[in-house]
Amino acid sequence: MKYSFKKKIIAVTGAANGIGRAAAILLAKEGATIIAIDKEKKSLDKLKLKLKNKCILKNINCTNFNEIKTNLKDIKIIDGLVNCAGIVHQGDMMNCSEKEWNHTINTNLTSVFYISQYFMKIFLKRKKGSIVNISSVASSIKGVKRRFAYSTSKAGIIGLTKSIAVDYAKKGIRCNVICPGTVDTPTWRKRVLSSNNPSQARKDFNSRQIIGRVAKPEEISDLILFLLSDRSSFVTGSIYNIDGGMSL
């Protein structure tokens, strides 16, 4: 499928690593200029080395609205937004402190509100725009053990997506959400390595997907591209599981 991202400007949060990074690389390859937003400066710098002038770095903590306003004020045109920044808190409700709860909800959900609201002003002015949010199969889709705060925050993204979709459909703005299964990214690898038995943990993660393996980040980026592009012009408010059958 051919896409036309030439002259398109796409903001990607969590662009420095994992799924966000893979999406940024693919979008740049298809011609887009990327506004790469992340709190990790070192990894952002590595992305810049790869994408060169196809990439504008924004070293921002997405949970801080003042930081967003100050650092993004030079961005006047934008065609699409990928909300990918996120963290995984592990544990059931009885293992979740108030601090961990607030940190998870702020990082995974409130930041999506902040960034989407900030860029919505530009989308509304231009009467067009596409937002792709990254939720998870561990959310409203499926209950996953020991992901209490995480699943709650990711379920919130599904509600946020549908709200944006219905409120702004007539204004030319679309909003969709992707729910990945397990994806091989730096934080997932850390999670595996920090478990009591990494080799068993890897096997367990693989077997959660009926396909029998975890996804590569690039297997998520193709869908991100489609949803940002005009090829999906009739798609809004939709939830896409891309999970190797984990939700079945």
Ligand X SMILES: NC(=O)c1ccc[n+]([C@@H]2O[C@H](COP(=O)([O-])OP(=O)(O)OC[C@H]3O[C@@H](n4cnc5c(N)ncnc54)[C@H](O)[C@@H]3O)[C@@H](O)[C@H]2O)c1
Work out how close the CB of 123 gets to ligand X at its nearest, in angstroms, rounded to a whole number. Answer: 21
Please tell me which residue in 114, 118, 150, 240 is annotated as part of the active site. 150
State yes or no: residue 156 binds ligand X (CB under 6 A): no
Part of the chain binding ligand X (CB under 6 A), chosen from 16-24, 91-99, 122-130, 223-231: 16-24
Residues 6+ apart with CB under 8 A from 87: 103, 104, 107, 108, 150, 187
DSSP letter assigned to residue 246? T
> CB-based burial of residue 80 (10 Å sphere; 0-12 exposed, 13-18 middle, 19+ buried)?
buried
Q: Tell me how many residues contact ligand X (CB under 6 A).
A: 29
Closer residue to ligand X (CB): 64 or 126: 64
Considering the rule CB under 6 A, would residue 62 count as an interface residue with ligand X?
yes
Question: Does the annotation count 150 as an active-site position?
Answer: yes
Smallest CA-to-CA distance from 236 within 179, 181, 180, 164 is with: 164
Cα of first residue to Cα of last residue in the chain, in angstroms, is: 28
Largest CA distance in the chain: 53
Residues 6+ apart with CB under 8 A from 33: 8, 9, 10, 54, 55, 56
Residue 16 to residue 41: CA distance in whole angstroms: 8
Only segment of 2-10, 69-77, 82-90, 124-132 that touches ligand X (CB under 6 A): 82-90
Q: Which of 12, 17, 57, 241 binds ligand X (CB under 6 A)?
A: 17
40 binds ligand X (CB under 6 A): yes
> By CB under 6 A, is residue 38 in contact with ligand X?
yes
Kindly report the length of the chain.
248
Interface pattern 176-205 for ligand X (x via CB under 6 A): ----x-xx-xxxx-----------------
* 19 interacts with ligand X by CB under 6 A: yes
Report the alpha-carbon distance of residue 97 to residue 196 in Å, rounded.
22
Within positions 123 to 152, which residues make up the interface with ligand X, using CB under 6 A?
Answer: 134, 136
- Residue whose CB is less far from ligand X, 129 or 181: 181
Residue 86 contacts ligand X per CB under 6 A: yes
Please, what is the angle between helix 41-51 and helix 18-29, to 10°? Answer: 20
The residues annotated with a catalytic role in the active site are 150
The residues of the shown chain that bind ligand X, judged by CB under 6 A, are: 13-14, 16-20, 38-40, 43, 61-63, 84-87, 107, 111, 134, 136, 180, 182-183, 185-188
